[in-house]
Amino acid sequence: MSADTLHDQETHHFQAEISQLLDIVINSLYTHREVFIRELVSNAADASEKFRHEALTNKELGEGDAALEIRIDVDKEAGTFTITDSGIGMSRDELSENLGTIAHSGTKAFLQKIKEAANQDVSLIGQFGVGFYSAFMVAKKVTVETRSFHADSQGWVWESEGTGQYTISQKDDLARGTRIHIELKDDATEYAEDSRIKDAIRRYSNFVPIPISVNGEKVNTVQAIWTRNRSDITEEEYTEFYKFVANAWDEPMFRLHFNADAPLAIRALLYVPKENPEHLGLGKMQPGVDLYCRKVMIEKHPENLLPEWMRFVRGVIDSDDLPLNISRETLQDSALIRKLSKVITGRFIKHLAEQAKNNEEEFSKFYDTFGNFIKEGATQDFAHRDDLANLLRFESSALEAGKKTSLLDYVGRMKAEQKDIYFMNGPSRETIEAGPYVEAFREREIEVLYTFDQIDDYVFMQLGEYQEKKLVSADRGDIELSDIDAKEGEELSSEDSEALCGWLKETLGDRVGSVRVSKRLVSNPAIAVTGGMMSSAMQRLMMSVGKDETFDGKTMTLEINPRHSLIHRLNALRNDNKDFANELSEQLYDNALLAAGLFVDPRAMVDRLNKLLTKAAGG
């Protein structure tokens, strides 16, 4: 660059997180390096597609898309790689915002992922929205020249060696778009060979919908695979296209490719990835489906195209019925988009339902990985709630461990006189089955669904019912199970029982709402049941998210088992040995809370237990 065309050079420092990221990128393994080609090509393609769309909506531009192309020029002698696009370019503010000043959420997520990974796999970089920096895997120095498509915009040059700082200066006479020029590291000169570049583009960027040339020779076959017939597309092409649209390196779990003519003309190619990044603790996924109209991209990954719970889906939706010049702003509240969304979501759920029916194994693999999104949808996507509820799966007392049932199948197994659907939350099947809540159900062979996740209880609370049958937590106080035959021991007389209940309420005070005789207990002396709509798992959840930090015992009812020998003894002791009876009732209460999974002050309890043990040992 000659000095006379550059003005006002300013030096800036990368934000700390970006510097850290660059450190990792610069020192990455050789084997991952070629990813930079894909990232820079994909940025050039994004910028070109944005321009193509702008040209359609903004008549003043009027340059059409004939001129759109991506050019790569490599020079072996000079050891350089240059990629040029005629896309939307960047203004000065955009330049410093996008490249260096503002570390967005992806930066942190990427750093975290890399720290956890055993082999510093930088190739995932594009998925975190920081793909540009991959250039520093191979670069001694990167120069970005860019001019925005806006009328009267000026040209800018961004330059950096990747070590801490970058410069920005103004430059005259730049064409619209962006040129990225890389001075290759001495050990990266292979990327100055055109055969090497062509090879990488054919492998990773073959589906880029803008012509790409390398040293003047066109390399990609521009095509919209989703518009072709399913039978003409090979498995390989499908997988390759997935890698392209999802910016992924793995293979998809499955895909859904369909056309519809009514109520809208739609061609969609959707993929479900193999992994769920939200499971890996990488934060909330961003939507990943692109919107096209007749092969022209309207927007990459629009926010409100599909319901939020579908954010794990990747792919393309193309509709002839969208006006080509629809602007991004009108996308937000367009009735047409809502209709489109409804059709696609319906088809996707239908596909899952068919899979659940015809290929249980595939479906359960999907459910294990992405089930949380289905649960989220069942609580939030009102339009598809019933269909999503059909896809929910739970372990159950009627099935062996590890097997899951649908609510529909549960309903099919319900007893003639059974009105409600029962579920019980706990950390594991063993804990639930050993706990006091399900024994009465077991006695009478009433099926109970097991929910291992507190979210499940939230889902059930939101759904309220399924096929007009109430979803009821087994620890609810108002469950009416008719009397069970007394199994062991004699039942305390009703006068004694009532007196004992009254005494317990007095002794425990405000820590319990009421005390009453249980109709369902078999082998346990007492349980805590909830009064309101909330299961105890829901109470725990509310406590853990801080909505309801203090546990309010008044919402609990303590139920006692009049057949249990401890209850008989307690009844006798409350007259003979009041202090001892007090200690026992306190412990009975704590035990009931513990069995409900609720917090108990361990120190006070240990002190008390030691006293009781001393007594039991004859002390």
β-pair partners for 309: none
Q: Are 521 and 559 in contact (CB under 8 A)?
A: yes
322-336 as b/e: b if 16+ CB within 10 A: beeebbeeebeebee
Report the amino acid identity of residue 521: L
Query: Is the distance from CB of 356 to CB of 248 less than 8 angstroms?
Result: no
DSSP 431-466: HHHHSSSSHHHHHTT--EEEE-SHHHHHHHHHH-EE
E strands, 148-274, in order: 155-160, 165-171, 177-184, 212-214, 217-218, 254-260, 266-272
* Interface positions, 167-186, toward ligand ADP (CB under 6 A): 178
Cβ 313 to ligand ADP shortest distance, Å: 18
43 binds Mg ion (CB under 5 A): yes
Q: Which stretch binds ligand ADP (CB under 6 A): 37-45, 252-260, 364-372, 485-493?
A: 37-45
Stretch that binds ligand ADP, among 87-95, 510-518, 554-562, 603-611 (CB under 6 A): 87-95
* Interacting span for Mg ion (CB under 5 A) from 22-30, 36-44, 324-332, 341-349: 36-44
Of these, 5, 19, 129, 542, which contacts ligand ADP (CB under 6 A)? 129
- 90 is a site residue for ligand ADP (CB under 6 A): yes
Burial of 23 (0-12, 13-18, 19+ CB in 10 A): middle
* CA–CA dist 195, 394 (Å, integer): 54
In the range 349-378, which residues lie near ligand ADP by CB under 6 A? none
Of 98 and 431, the one with the shorter C-beta distance to ligand ADP is 98
CA-to-CA distance for 21 and 114, rounded, in angstroms?
Answer: 9
Write down the least CB distance from residue 230 to Mg ion, Å: 30
Number of residues that bind ligand ADP (CB under 6 A): 15
CB of 145 to Mg ion, least distance (A): 18
The interface region with Mg ion, picked from 125-133, 342-350, 535-543, 547-555 by CB under 5 A, is: 125-133
Q: How far is the CB of 470 from Mg ion (least distance, A)?
A: 50
Q: Indicate if the alpha-carbon torsion angle 415, 421, 427, 432 is positive or negative.
A: negative
Q: Stretches 128-136, 320-328, 512-520, 546-554: which one binds ligand ADP (CB under 6 A)?
A: 128-136
Of 40 and 389, nearer to Mg ion (C-beta) is 40
Does the footprint of Mg ion cover residue 131 (CB under 5 A)? yes
Residues 6+ apart with CB under 8 A from 344: 266, 268, 270, 306, 317
Out of ligand ADP, Mg ion, none, what residue 435 binds, judged by CB under 5 to 8 A for its kind, is: none
Q: Does 447 bind ligand ADP (CB under 6 A)?
A: no
Q: Compute the least distance from the CB of residue 103 to ligand ADP, in Å.
A: 11
b/e burial code for range 552-583 (CB count within 10 A of at least 16 → b): ebebbbbbbbbbbeebbebbebbeeeeebbbb
* Residue whose CB is less far from ligand ADP, 169 or 462: 169
Residue among 20, 41, 100, 131 that touches ligand ADP (CB under 6 A)? 131
Question: What are the angstrom distances between the C-alpha of 369 and each of 90, 365, 451?
Answer: 39, 6, 17
Measured from the CB of residue 83, what is the shortest distance to ligand ADP in angstroms? 8
Per-residue x/- track, 47-76, ligand ADP (CB under 6 A): x-----------------------------
Which of residues 22, 44, 340, 541 is near ligand ADP by CB under 6 A? Answer: 44
Query: Residues near 434 by Cβ (< 8 Å), separated by ≥ 6?
Result: none
Q: Is 227 in the site for ligand ADP (CB under 6 A)?
A: no
Q: How far apart are CA 114 and CA 91, in angstroms?
A: 31
- List, in order, residues 6 or more apart from 219 with CB less than 8 Å away: 198, 201, 202, 212, 213
Type of residue found at 67: A
205 binds Mg ion (CB under 5 A): no
Residues of the shown chain interacting with ligand ADP in the complex, contacts defined by CB under 6 A = 39, 43-44, 47, 85, 87-90, 98, 129-132, 178
Interface residues with Mg ion (CB under 5 A)?
43, 131
